[in-house]
Amino acid sequence: MDPLRTSIVDAGPTHLRIRGYDVLDLMQQATFTDLIFLLHHTRLPTPQERRLIDAILIGGADHGPGAPSCAAARLAASGNRQSPSAAIAAGVATIGDEHGGAGALCMELIAEGVGRANGDRTRFEAEAIRLVEDAQRTKTRIPGFGHRVHAEIDPRVDALFRLAKTEGLAGAGIEFARALETAIAQRIRPIPLNIDGALAAILHDLGFQPLVGKLLFIVSRVAGLSAEVLEEYTREKPMRIRFDVEYDGPPARRDGK
């Protein structure tokens, strides 16, 4: 078998380095958020970048047991009390395109639009309209816009964008996301940017690859899943979660075949 290749961790018998940084040094000087940035990027963040990533990670960590990932983790903790990791794994497996996946899809959209405009911000409007028309033609939802709960405006979006401006990090990603919002309002109806879209815009401006939009949500949400699993283990009885079930299949058959 060939050795497993990694460009991230250099684990020797007497040292442990992540992207060249000694982990012992990091343990004494860096924050976990610094490390998360470093692991998914090529360098440590500036204080301004760290502030934004902290905000993003905090914003996604836990929305309560109503979210599918959290409900699945609590269900698994309810049936399987031998392995909290199995419960967290069940919650993580629940995250996908429909739940926590819009960030990555929206980053792809932003990267496409910004790329086509070739850096020229005067062309953002036209490119945004083009993408919205594409979505109308193929009848696909535009990721990063609209929300199940916050029909109006998600206050976290403004909080994140204000932060990005304060920290001097608002770039083409945020500008293009706003152009998309305008184009959607013109061509479809006003559908506000949601937290996934805001996150996508900011992560684009920080230089991350689109897949990171989904990965950082997972990293963030695992903190919440872990706490919810802890509470399920320590406060609730096993097998307590019941569902009402409605059967609408074929009626009882008389024959054995």
Query: Contacts with its own copies in 60-119 (CB under 8 A)?
Result: 61-66, 68-69, 71-72, 74-76, 78-101
Question: Residues 215 to 244: which contact its own copies by CB under 8 A?
Answer: 215-216, 218-220, 222-224, 226-231, 233-236, 238-244
203 binds its own copies (CB under 8 A): no
188 binds its own copies (CB under 8 A): no
Number of residues this chain uses to bind its own copies (CB under 8 A):
128
256 binds its own copies (CB under 8 A): yes
Nearest distance from C-beta of residue 124 to its own copies, angstroms: 27
Nearest distance from C-beta of residue 166 to its own copies, angstroms: 9
CB-CB contact of 107 with 203 (8 Å)? yes
44 binds its own copies (CB under 8 A): yes
How far is residue 148's CA from residue 93's CA, in Å, rounded to a whole number? 21
How far is residue 144's CA from residue 124's CA, in Å, rounded to a whole number? 17
Edge-to-edge strand list for the sheet holding 9-11: 9-11, 16-18, 21-22
Amino acid making up residue 253: R
Residue 255 has a CB neighbour count (10 Å cut-off) of 4
Amino acid making up residue 174: I
Q: Report in angstroms the alpha-carbon separations of 116 from 112, 125, 183.
A: 6, 12, 16
CB-CB contact of 8 with 23 (8 Å)? no
Please say which residue, 61 or 129, places its beta carbon nearer to its own copies: 61
Nearest distance from C-beta of residue 70 to its own copies, angstroms: 8
Please say which residue, 86 or 129, places its beta carbon nearer to its own copies: 86
Of 115-123, 145-153, 183-191, 196-204, the segment contacting its own copies by CB under 8 A is: 145-153
CB-CB contact of 70 with 64 (8 Å)? yes
CA nearest to 144, candidates 115, 182, 168, 177: 177
Binding mask 148-167 for its own copies (x = CB under 8 A): xxx----xx--xx--x----
49 binds its own copies (CB under 8 A): no
Nearest distance from C-beta of residue 112 to its own copies, angstroms: 17
Nearest distance from C-beta of residue 81 to its own copies, angstroms: 5
Nearest distance from C-beta of residue 129 to its own copies, angstroms: 27
Residue 5: what are its φ and ψ, rounded to 5°? -90, 140
